[in-house]
Amino acid sequence: MGSNNGRLCDCGSTVQDKSDTDKTKGAPADYLIWGSGDEVKNLSWTVKEFHGEGTKDRKCVIPFPKDQSISLRDGRKDFPLEFPIVDQSALQSVEHASVCLDTTDRKPPFVDGKYFFVNGEVRPWAGKTSEVTSPIVDAATKKRIKIGEVADLGEAEALEAATAAKDAWQCGLGEWPQMSIPKRIECIQNLVSELKKKRDAIVEVLMWEICKTSADAAKEFDRTMDYIQDTVVALQQMYDKSKETVTTGGIMGNIGRGPIGVMVCIGPFNYPFNETYCQFIPSLMMGNTVVMKIPRTGGLAHLLTIEAFKDTLPKGVVNFVTGSGRATLPPIMESGMIDIFAFIGGSRAADSLIKNHPSPHKLRVCLGLDAKNAGIVMPDADLDIAVKECVTGSTSYNGQRCTALKIMFVHQSIAEQFCKKFAAAVEQLQAGLPWQSGVSITPLPENNKTTYMHELLEDANAKGALILNSNGGKTNGYLMYPAVVYPVTSTMRLWREEQFGPVVPIACWSEASEVIEWLKSSPYGQQAAVFTKNMEAPDTVKVMSCLQHCVCRININTQCSRSPDCFPFTGRASSANGTLSIEEALKVFSVDSVLAGKANDLNASLMGMMR
């Protein structure tokens, strides 16, 4: 411990030096508090809050991990007078479940991915491979558990896969694009039947590789199968409508849709099955051929489906590429063989890959990109509803969803109440292994994610924010308990960066213009959630007017989400390009096709022959 002209304070001491307090703002001066984890469990100090002519002492307590040191700075020169300081002393602690596993308790799966699926063949691979491990740590070895091995394909194999898809396309003359829509639908239904036989294995792999809870892993598979079936129905309706003749201005015609060509499909790790299939299946149904780049994390589930594709679709229609994206994707794009670029991930990676194409103007692009969805809590909001929806919206699957609420703006008049209720609700979330009953917080699949999360927390701490929940930010292996951070301001990285993980920033606002300015300056534009009881309140009207032109979906008293799948799912700015819903996805991956002629009996007869 040390001192610096009275500006440094030992843990547990109080700070009441009036000379170090900005009386005009009601904020404590720039105190730095630090300590050794062996010495203290909590940090506490007292600050003076100014209320008109009088003052009141408020004790602030910061939960302190015993096995960590901490550096915490409290000093916000722009701290508003009425900014609430949350009393943390009443927060309850909950025990973490272990994320180490005695392997006698549950046998991990093992997926042998040492092969190359191309042109209808499952070809053994004798080259370089990568080990796939689970974020679940073996209790005996203290290491990540090995659950698979995949082929590290390179440029040659990537180009072979693209060539196979191109040959299957044959400028639209291949077996698959020439196949009638009813016949294609039959093939897809056969595919679904085969995929369902793999359900249990796929669900198990999702739990182990990306630590989806058992309920969420099962839901991801089942929802995907439902999505395919709903897409089949939509395609059949589209096909039936295309047989209707439209006559206007003396011209008659049949209007349908046709395939575009060769698609490269790049799915994410967080919903590797559902999100990938929501792009991949509609494109396939429309008659396109596909190169699927399997994600390095979350890809094992796809390897379990290879036999299903091989047995139900013509050769070359679907081809898998495993290995490094940097090694395989640029050559595919540079080849010029790709007509459709479907990508879910970061905007910078998407831009880079698109630039690799020799004719980017020819690409049909469908992108699901970054998002920083805001939860905006108005002063008249029902706090119980707002807290419930915001907790679920920000912590489901550890916040690793593009639709997650990634920042909350809460009106200052209710901020203290909201924060207390929110932190207490987060404290009740159970952490543990994916298959354990009641668990909602699970290990993070990405190797360096906890490091990044702690960098964001340290940045926020250094600039005046506190962690409101006693377990917030604590880690156990690759598991990190959600950290509720307040008050987040524009100087902090959490204000703008998409954290995509278990850190929940809460900001306070007093004027609608503050929220509007954040929305206007955001590079993202997917969704927002507004919590209010009165849509005609002046501040609500202002915020809603802005949101209508900043995001593509406004959720009222409800967390952000993609469902139902019949609703358009898209975004503005750097959040998306293209719309995914059951009907819209079929249109995104196809092009209008018109058969027209002068309205007379001969042409009507000829058009009838073409149906």
DSSP per residue over 115-168, as a string?
EEEETTEEEE--S-EEEEEEEEEETTT-SEEEEEEEE---HHHHHHHHHHHHHH
- Cα–Cα distances (Å) from 266 to 63, 295, 325, in that order, read 42, 7, 9
3-state class (DSSP) for residue 197:
coil
Picking from 152, 118, 258, the residue whose alpha carbon sits closest to that of residue 586 is 258
**Adjacent-strand bridge partners of 62:** 43
- Residues sharing a CB contact under 8 Å with residue 62, sequence separation 6 or more, in sequence order: 42, 43, 44, 70, 72, 88, 466, 467
What does the pLDDT read at residue 609? 86
What does the pLDDT read at residue 463? 96
Number of residues in the chain: 611
How much of the chain exceeds pLDDT 90, in percent?
81
Confidence of residue 403 (pLDDT cuts 50, 70, 90): very high
* 548-598 tens-digit pLDDT: 999 999 999 999 999 999 999 999 999 999 999 999 999 999 999 999 999
- Min mean pLDDT across 96-110, 273-287, 289-303, 530-544 is at 96-110
* 109-136 tens-digit pLDDT: 999 999 999 999 999 999 999 999 999 9
Picking from 420, 374, 325, 337, the residue whose alpha carbon sits closest to that of residue 559 is 374
Expressed in angstroms, the distance from the first to the final Cα of the chain is 84
**Token output for 162:** 């693209």
Query: In 10 A of CB 380, how many CB atoms?
Result: 15
* 504-513 tens-digit pLDDT: 999 999 999 9
Q: Are 133 and 305 in contact (CB under 8 A)?
A: no
**Adjacent-strand bridge partners of 483:** 503
Q: Is the pLDDT of residue 3 over 90?
A: no
Q: Is the pLDDT of residue 93 over 80?
A: no
Domains of the chain, earliest start first = 117-369+576-593 (3.40.605.10), 372-574 (3.40.309.10)
What does the pLDDT read at residue 7? 22
- Min mean pLDDT across 5-14, 239-248, 326-335, 369-378 is at 5-14
Q: How far apart are CA 87 and CA 423, in angstroms?
A: 11
* 429-447 tens-digit pLDDT: 999 999 999 999 999 999 9
Query: In 10 A of CB 281, how many CB atoms?
Result: 23
3-state class (DSSP) for residue 376:
strand
* 25-51 tens-digit pLDDT: 333 322 222 223 333 333 333 333 333
Confidence of residue 99 (pLDDT cuts 50, 70, 90): low
Q: Is the pLDDT of residue 605 over 80?
A: yes
What does the pLDDT read at residue 284? 98
H/E stretch holding 21: strand 21-22
3-state class (DSSP) for residue 205:
helix
Phi, psi of 303 (to 5 degrees): -65, -25
- Residues sharing a CB contact under 8 Å with residue 345, sequence separation 6 or more, in sequence order: 266, 268, 368, 369
Mean pLDDT, residues 406-425 taken together: 98
**Token output for 525:** 């534009």
- Measure the CA angle with vertex 591, ends 602 and 239; round to 5°: 60
- Cα–Cα distances (Å) from 44 to 11, 25, 36, 64, in that order, read 7, 21, 14, 10
Q: What average pLDDT is seen over the chain?
A: 86
Q: Which residue's structure tokens are 């550096």? A: 71
* 46-92 tens-digit pLDDT: 333 333 334 344 333 333 333 333 333 333 333 332 333 333 332 22
Q: Sign of torsion, CA 369 360 293 145?
A: negative
* 231-283 tens-digit pLDDT: 999 999 999 999 999 999 999 999 999 999 999 999 999 999 999 999 999 99
Read off the pTM: 0.84
The 3-state secondary structure of 453-497 reads HHHHHHHHHHCCCEECCCCCCCEECCEECCEEEECCCCCCHHHCC
DSSP 63-77: E--TT--EEEEE--T
Mean pLDDT, residues 461-467 taken together: 96
Q: How far apart are CA 66 and CA 63, in angstroms?
A: 9
